[in-house]
C-alpha cells in the first residue's frame, strides 16, 4: 500500500525546506530525542544549493505526544521507509545519532529493497556501534532513579528536566520506550550497502568504542571513513560545526555529477 501525503507529513519535519531540492538530508534522532534536536545542526550546515534538510519525528513526543509509542526498531524502520518513499524521487543522504544511526541503517536497507536505485547516496552514523556488534542492554528495565542516573552519565538531556519531577514524568516514558527499542534490536545479516558510509564518534563515548565504530566498515562495499572527536556520547553538542562539515561534504559530493563518487556513483 502506498503511503499517503498525510503519513509522510506525520513522520517528517522539514527543518530547511526546498521546493525543488536536488538532494535531501534526513536526520534520525537518538533515544528520547525529537526532530527539533537537529535544528541547531541544520543551521550550522554550509549553504548547499538545492539541499533540503528533514528530521524524523517519532510518535509519542512533542506534536505526536498523544500517539502510541513504537518500541521496535524494525517497525519504526518500516514506518519511516513508507513515509520516505515519496521523497526518494531525489537523492537521499541519511544521518542518525545513537539509536538514530541504527534506524537510519535499517531504513537504508529497506529503501534499497523497494527499489535498488532508491538506496541512499550516503549514510552518516554517529555515536553508535556497528549493527553487527552486540552489547546486552538493560537500561529500559531499570527503576526511574537508575534511568535518570544513566541519563546524567551519557549527557544530552537538559539537567533542568532531570531535576524537575513534573518534567521527568513526561520524558521518562519516552526514553524508556526508546531504550527498549534499541536494546531489543538484533541485527539480521544482510548484503552490505553500496553507498559511502561515514562514522562519527566521541573518543570517550562509553556506549561505542572506536573498534565498534570501525566495524561499520563491514556494512558497505563503498567508501568508508571514520572520524573521532574529543568527548563522550553527545560530543556533537560541542563539535556541532565539525559534524556539520562532514554532512556538508557528503551533500556537496552527492549534489555533484555522479562521477564524483568514483566507482560508486549511481
Output DSSP code: residue 137: -
CA–CA distance from 183 to each of 17, 137, 244 (Å)? 33, 5, 28
Does the active-site annotation cover 34? Answer: no
Please enumerate in sequence order all residues whose Cβ is within 8 A of that of 79, keeping only pairs 6 or more positions apart, or say none: 11, 70
Q: What is the DSSP letter of 256?
A: S
- Burial category of 95 from C-beta neighbours within 10 Å (exposed 0-12, middle 13-18, buried 19 and up): buried
Q: In this structure, are residues 216 and 101 in contact, taking their beta carbons and an 8 Å threshold?
A: no
d(CA 33, CA 157): 9
Contact 59, 68 (CB under 8 A): yes
Q: Which of 22, 44, 98, 118 is catalytic?
A: 98
Q: Give the catalytic positions in this structure.
A: 98
Amino acid at each position: 500500500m502506498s503511503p499517503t501525503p498525510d503519513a509522510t507529513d506525520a513522520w517528517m519535519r522539514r527543518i530547511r525546506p526546498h521546493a525543488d531540492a536536488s538532494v535531501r538530508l534526513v536526520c534520525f534522532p537518538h533515544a528520547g530525542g525529537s526532530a527539533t534536536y537537529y535544528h541547531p545542526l541544520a543551521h550550522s550546515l554550509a549553504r548547499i544549493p538545492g539541499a533540503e534538510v528533514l528530521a524524523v519525528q517519532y510518535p509519542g513526543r512533542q506534536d505526536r505526544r498523544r500517539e502510541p509509542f513504537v518500541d521496535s526498531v524494525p517497525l519504526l524502520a518500516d514506518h519511516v521507509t513508507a513515509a520516505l518513499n515519496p521523497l526518494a524521487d531525489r537523492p537521499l543522504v541519511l544521518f542518525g545519532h545513537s539509536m538514530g544511526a541504527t534506524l537510519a541503517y535499517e531504513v537504508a536497507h529497506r529503501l534499497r529493497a523497494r527499489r535498488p536505485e532508491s538506496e541512499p547516496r550516503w549514510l552518516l552514523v554517529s555515536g553508535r556501534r556497528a549493527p553487527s556488534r552486540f552489547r546486552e542492554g538493560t537500561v529500559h528495565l531499570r527503576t526511574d532513579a537508575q534511568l535518570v542516573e544513566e541519563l546524567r552519565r551519557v549527557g544530552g538531556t537538559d539537567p533542568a528536566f532531570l531535576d524537575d519531577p513534573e518534567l521527568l514524568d513526561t520524558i521518562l516514558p519516552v526514553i524508556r520506550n526508546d531504550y527498549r527499542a534499541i536494546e531489543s534490536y538484533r541485527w539480521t545479516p544482510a548484503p552490505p550497502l553500496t553507498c559511502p558510509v561515514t562514522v562519527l564518534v566521541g573518543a570517550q563515548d562509553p556506549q561505542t568504542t572506536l573498534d565498534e565504530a570501525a566495524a561499520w566498515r563491514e556494512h558497505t562495499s563503498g567508501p568508508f571513513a571514520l572520524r573521532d572527536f574529543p568527548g563522550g556520547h553527545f560530543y556533537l553538542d560541542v563539535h556541532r560545526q565539525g559534524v556539520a562539515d562532514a554532512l556538508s561534504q557528503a551533500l556537496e559530493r552527492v549534489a555533484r555529477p555522479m562521477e564524483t563518487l568514483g566507482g560508486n556513483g549511481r
